[in-house]
Amino acid sequence: MKTRIIVIILLLLVLTVLLTRNDDRIAGTLLNTINPVKQSYKQFTQGIEDKSHSYIFQKETIEKLSHENRILRKRLLEQMHYIDQVQDVYTVLPDLAKLPVHNIAIAETISYVKLNSFSQIILTKPKGLIEGKIYGLIQGTVAAGVATLKNNQLYGYLTSDDKCRFSVFIGKSRAPGIAIGIKRNKMIVKFIPKWHDLQVGDKVVTSGLDNIFFSNVPVGIVTEIEVQSAYTVAYIKPYNNVLQPKTFFVVTDPKVTILENFDSNSTALALNCPKVDKTLYQDINATDLNITQDNNLSVTAEYNATIPIISSIPSRVDQTQDDVVEPDEPVEHVAPAPIKKVKKKKTRKKKYNHPKSLDLF
């Protein structure tokens, strides 16, 4: 052990002596021996550092890309759902031409209320709905059920649910009744008067008298008729598809609007009367018409006959409303009275009395 230490010390002394001497050959030999070792060491350390940096960079890149991938997949699902909704709305757009656009809203089905029941659904809530009010649901152009707003959530009851009830007319005689859901593809219409002659195959439409649907919306077709003690019962097959509740029209305002905001002054009721140019009668006077005492009556009658009398009272009202419409009193245009010539009174001249005598003195 001691000999090794002594040998190392001697070698160090020799190296120090050689390095302290200014000998180029010795310095070159030492540099040629040491430089490759130093280069190898630097290359080795640099490789380890590069690998560590690349590993860290790859890890960060993988985490970043994974996060972006999750976001893009979420957006892709949202876009696919959005495309499905657009397709559903696009399929029902042609049906909007057959309905009053200002009185309906579009609603999409969110989910079923219960997994084991296909007759009750939860819908997207349009704006302006009133809590507790019953609204009609139209699928395409046929009645599909009713909806009501509860706890800020819109619930829909399709024609297969017993909570779906609305008034209908049946057949050509338009027999009234109340349609109630029973099961899939079947409804019952109760309280039909017995004197109506119903046939299997009669078409059923909404009456519009329950403030739920518009009138004459198709509901179904009669499949069976049963006469009971007090009234007649009819079983019908609805037109709507209960198993595909995608997009619905919500009837927000089914009331009659023909007489709403009626104004007799701004409504042209006399459509068949000819239009009169008022400028034709502005410059008419007695001298232009050559009115005399003898033909005053004939000219006045002819002048009055050319002026149409417009009445504000409608001749017929087909539908009624809650507010009573009281039209204004009719205003008739009467021709001005002809100008009568004033006869000048004849003044009698006083007779001159001649004097009896010419004697002035």
Cα 218-223-229 angle, rounded to 5 deg? 105
Query: Residue 298: which pLDDT band, with cuts at 50, 70 and 90?
Result: very low
264 CB-side CA count, 13 A: 13
DSSP per position, 84-145:
HHHHHHHHHGGGGGGS-GGGEEEEEEEEESSTT-SSEEEE---TTPPTT-EEEEEETTEEEE
More confident of the two residues 82 and 270: 82
Query: Residue 218: which pLDDT band, with cuts at 50, 70 and 90?
Result: very high
More confident of the two residues 22 and 88: 88
Query: Using CB atoms within 10 A of its CB, is residue 155 exposed (0-12), middle (13-18) or buried (19+)?
Result: middle
CA 1 to chain centre: 102
CA 93 to chain centre: 11
Q: What mean pLDDT value characterizes the chain?
A: 75
According to DSSP, the residues that pair with 134 across neighbouring strands are 148
Task: Encode pLDDT of 49-67 as tens digits.
Answer: 777 777 777 888 888 888 8
> In angstroms, rounded to a whole number, what is the distance separating the alpha carbons of residues 233 and 170?
11
Q: Cβ(282)–Cβ(276) under 8 Å?
A: no
Tokens at residue 268, please? 């042209």
Q: Is the pLDDT of residue 322 over 50?
A: no
Cα 323-325-327 angle, rounded to 5 deg? 160
Q: Do the bridges between strand 232-238 and strand 186-192 make them parallel or antiparallel, or are there none, so unpaired?
A: antiparallel
Q: Cβ(212)–Cβ(134) under 8 Å?
A: yes
Estimate the crossing angle of helix 2-20 against helix 24-92, to 10 degrees: 100
Q: Cβ(248)–Cβ(137) under 8 Å?
A: yes
Task: Encode pLDDT of 148-202 as tens digits.
Answer: 999 999 999 999 999 999 999 999 999 999 999 998 889 999 999 999 989 999 9
pLDDT at position 261: 58
According to DSSP, the residues that pair with 24 across neighbouring strands are none
Q: Cβ(160)–Cβ(182) under 8 Å?
A: yes
> Between the CA atoms of 292, 297, 303 and 305, what dihedral angle is there, to the nearest 10 degrees?
-160
Q: Cβ(121)–Cβ(111) under 8 Å?
A: yes
Which of 75-79, 206-210, 253-257 has the weakest average pLDDT?
Answer: 253-257
